[in-house]
Structure formats: C-alpha cells, structure tokens
C-alpha cells in the first residue's frame, strides 16, 4: 500500500504558519476509525478492554480520545500513573506493568486502584512489604524463554528479554499469591515486537490459553483475564501489507472457543496493550528542508533531528518520507536526510530516493504517532517539538507546545548563579 500523508501541502503550510516546524501532527479521524475497528474485532469477548500503552504517546488529549471508546491506560512508571490519573483514568482502568519497580511506583499504583502486573516472583514480597498486603486482583508477566515461532518463521527471542517469569516461577507465584489472599488472577505476556502478520496474536493466545487452563487446574487460582499485551505492528515501509485487526480478532476467537470454552473458562476477559498499532500510522513528523549539501554524498538538512525522532538513529529504523506537494513527482534523486546534531547517526534516511528537494520544502516523516515524540531528549541543547492534532473538521489544535530554553534550564532553578536562565525569554 502506497504511503501518502493524511494532510495536504496546503494544510501543512497553514499549520506551519501557526506552529513553526518541526512538529508532530496527529490525525484524529484516523485514530477514531482505527479504535472503532479494534473495538469491533474483539466485541465477541464480553470483558475485552484495550489498555493504551501510555509510553507510546503520553499526551492527555490523545488519551482522552481513546478513553471515549472505553480504553484504559497501560502504565509503567510513576509519572505515567500521574498522567492517567489526570485524565480521569483510575482503578482497574489502569494496568500497571513495570520492571525493576521502585517502591513509590507501587504505592501510587495501589493508591489509584490499578491492576498490578508483577514482572518477577521476587516482587511478591517486595509489593507486600511496600503496600502492606497483596491486592485481591493481581497479574503476573510470563516469559516462556527460547524462541517464539509461528508458521512464518522465528518472530523473536523471548529468552533474551529481561521481562517476565519462567514457567516454573509463574506456577509458584500463583500459589504464593493465592495463599496471601489474591482472588482474581491475570496472565500477561509480550513475546514479539512490531509484528506485521495476522498470525501473531492467535498463536500467542493459544500459548496463553493452554497455560491458563493448566494453571487454574494445578493451582486452583481463578484466572479472570488474559492480557495479550502489544506486539501488533504497523507497516513502516511503503508497499507492506498492514495487519487486518478483524482477521486477528477472529483468529483469537477461534482459539478461545477451542481451548478456554471446553475447559469451562468461557468467562475469561481478554485485554490488549497496544500503542504502536493504535497511533503509529496516525502521526507524522513535519519538518522543513533548510540546507542542501553536496560533498561525497548529497544531503538534505532539515530543522528536525533525532531529538524529535530517535528511532532511525538508535535502531536504524525505516520511516517513509514524503516531500509535501511532490507525491507524484519521480523519485530520481538520492539523499541522506539529516538533522543538526553533532552525531553522524542523526539521519532520518540514508541513500533514500526522493524527488528533488530544495530548501523550503516540507518533508513528512511517516508513522511517528507512537514512540516518536515520547522518546525525545535534549542532547546538544536541542529542544523537543510541539504536538498538534489535526481535528476531524480540518482545524489544527496545539496539544503540546514546543520546549523553550527556559524549559531546558528549568532544573537549574535551585542554584542562584543559574536560576535566571530558567526565566529568560526565548532569545537573549
């Protein structure tokens, strides 16, 4: 499927007049369509709930859109819990999945009434000592080890991941938690990342459903939910076939009826924790070409950098790039598209075929709606960009302002010699 921006060149130029580049832009209409498709795909399961992975795009305006469809929040830190609470998401609408967890995080999760998902068997005692008891509803994260394979081949290597309990630990954890007063149990697993296949979730479901049947029989623990977590990916490259969430939902339903229903467990609720799938394709980084350089290679220099989108720099990740207004112009030039950091890895694309790019052109870097702005940082004193929502009516709403030098220096306000920097105007 060919990738094209969800906003026209004229729309982008108008938005850039209000909010200077670079900025992350999100497509409200696309987000809503996708959420409706997910909801419909799992409507056969009465207890189904999507816990949006806050880490992917921690913006309250976007969280509140998803909340309209009954979404909860998947949180992994103290500040993500705070954000969820600020959005009015509390109680069992929060799934707290963390690792190497500080005591303060567990205290806040308990205070908000979140479902706590334990990453390790040693966290049972740590949680009990921290909050004084074991909650009646509790979840444990599972890691079967080895390689995770489906018909398409090896998908990932859970045995090399730091997350989750071994099979033996999981059984022991359920017995201990039950003895300590837990009444309702959940199983959680994240075994593959960014899969672009309709087979991953049904295969994962089969593993977890069979495990759940055996766990309930062997430990007597009542399993009330199974959390398939994330892992449903998006097609970053043009021409890739996207996942079909309806096919995925139907595949999970068949396994549910084959495994859980005959075991008398047809009341088990299914949860998901999707981030990339929920928002990834419905965000883009809009940046302007400001320089061109012709040395040993041809370069396009833009006003964004890895601070705004670090995935290409740290993973070598591919993000499709469109030159706004030149969607149908032949890609007969080859460029490295680079930012201004003092790091040679600060490249959005290497040897990328594009139409001719001249300073002033707007470039749209696709699929940044998840793990885009949220992974930003401040190396070289670069400042993180604004976030803008393209509303269904075509208007643009600022949903996070761009950082200023005052933000960068704010943590020096405890020192008299430097506190003035946090109160300086943008330009000295």
**pLDDT, tens digit, for every residue of 72-93?**
999 999 999 999 999 999 999 9
The answer to whether the CB of 131 falls within 8 A of the CB of 110 is: yes
- The span from the CA of 424 to the CA of 406, in Å, is 6
Q: Is pLDDT of 422 > 90?
A: no
Of 305, 281, 284, residue with least CA distance to 387: 284
Complete domains list, the chain, with CATH: 28-279 (3.20.20.10), 281-402 (2.40.37.10)
The answer to whether the CB of 30 falls within 8 A of the CB of 283 is: no
Global pTM value: 0.95
Q: Is 71 tagged catalytic? A: no
What is the mean pLDDT of the segment spanning 212-234?
A: 96
Helix axes 167-179, 200-219, angle to 10 degrees: 50
Per-residue pLDDT at 159: 73
Per-residue pLDDT at 157: 73
Count of all residues that appear for the chain in the document: 428
User: Which one of 284, 331, 342, 414 is the catalytic residue?
Assistant: 342
Instruction: Please state, rounded to an integer, the average pLDDT across all residues of the chain.
Output: 95
CB atoms within 10 A of CB 161: 13
Q: Is pLDDT of 152 > 70?
A: no
- The span from the CA of 386 to the CA of 30, in Å, is 20
What is the mean pLDDT of the segment spanning 354-368?
A: 98
The answer to whether the CB of 308 falls within 8 A of the CB of 252 is: no
Of 24, 15, 13, 6, residue with least CA distance to 307: 24
What is the mean pLDDT of the segment spanning 95-103?
A: 96
- The span from the CA of 108 to the CA of 42, in Å, is 31
Per-residue pLDDT at 426: 55
Q: What is the pLDDT of residues 155-164, one digit of tens each?
A: 567 777 789 9
pLDDT-wise least confident of 87-91, 116-120, 160-164, 417-421: 417-421
Q: Is pLDDT of 137 > 60?
A: yes
């Amino acid at each position: 499927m060919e990738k094209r921006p969800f906003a026209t060149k004229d729309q982008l130029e108008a938005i850039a007049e209000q909010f200077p580049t670079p900025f992350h832009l999100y497509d409200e209409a696309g987000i809503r369509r996708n959420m409706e498709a997910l909801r419909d795909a799992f409507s056969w399961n009465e207890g189904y709930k999507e816990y949006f992975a806050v880490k992917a795009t921690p913006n309250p305006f976007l969280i509140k859109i998803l909340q309209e469809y009954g979404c909860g929040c998947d949180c992994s830190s103290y500040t993500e819990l705070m954000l969820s609470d600020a959005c009015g998401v509390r109680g069992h609408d929060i799934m707290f999945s963390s690792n190497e967890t500080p005591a303060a995080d567990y205290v806040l999760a308990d205070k908000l009434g979140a479902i706590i998902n334990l990453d390790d068997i040693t966290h049972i005692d740590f949680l009990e000592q921290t909050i004084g008891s074991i909650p009646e509803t509790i979840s444990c994260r599972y890691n079967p080890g080895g390689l995770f394979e489906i018909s398409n081949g090896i998908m990932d290597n859970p045995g090399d991941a730091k997350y989750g309990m071994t099979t033996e630990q999981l059984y022991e954890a359920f017995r201990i938690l039950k003895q300590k007063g837990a009444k309702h149990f959940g199983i959680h697993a994240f075994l593959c990342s960014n899969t672009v296949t309709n087979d991953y979730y049904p295969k994962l479901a089969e593993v977890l459903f069979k495990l759940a049947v055996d766990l309930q029989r062997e430990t007597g623990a009542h399993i009330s939910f199974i959390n398939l977590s994330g892992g449903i990916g998006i097609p970053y490259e043009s021409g890739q076939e996207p996942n079909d969430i309806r096919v995925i939902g139907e595949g999970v339903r068949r396994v549910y009826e084959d495994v859980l229903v005959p075991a008398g467990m047809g009341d088990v609720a299914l949860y998901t924790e999707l981030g990339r799938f929920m928002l990834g394709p419905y965000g883009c980084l809009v940046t302007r070409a400001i320089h061109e350089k012709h040395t040993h290679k041809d370069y396009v220099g833009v006003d964004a950098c890895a601070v705004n989108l670090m995935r290409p720099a740290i993973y070598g990740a591919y993000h499709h790039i469109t030159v706004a207004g030149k969607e149908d112009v032949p890609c007969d030039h080859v460029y490295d598209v680079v930012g201004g950091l003092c790091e040679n890895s600060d490249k959005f694309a290497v040897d990328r075929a594009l139409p001719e790019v001249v300073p002033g052109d707007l470039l749209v870097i696709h699929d940044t709606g998840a793990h885009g702005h949220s992974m930003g940082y401040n190396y070289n004193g670069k400042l993180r960009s604004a976030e803008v929502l393209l509303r269904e009516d075509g208007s643009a709403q600022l949903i996070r302002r761009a950082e200023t030098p005052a933000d960068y220096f704010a943590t020096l306000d405890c020192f008299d010699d430097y506190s003035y920097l946090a109160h300086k105007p943008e330009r000295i």
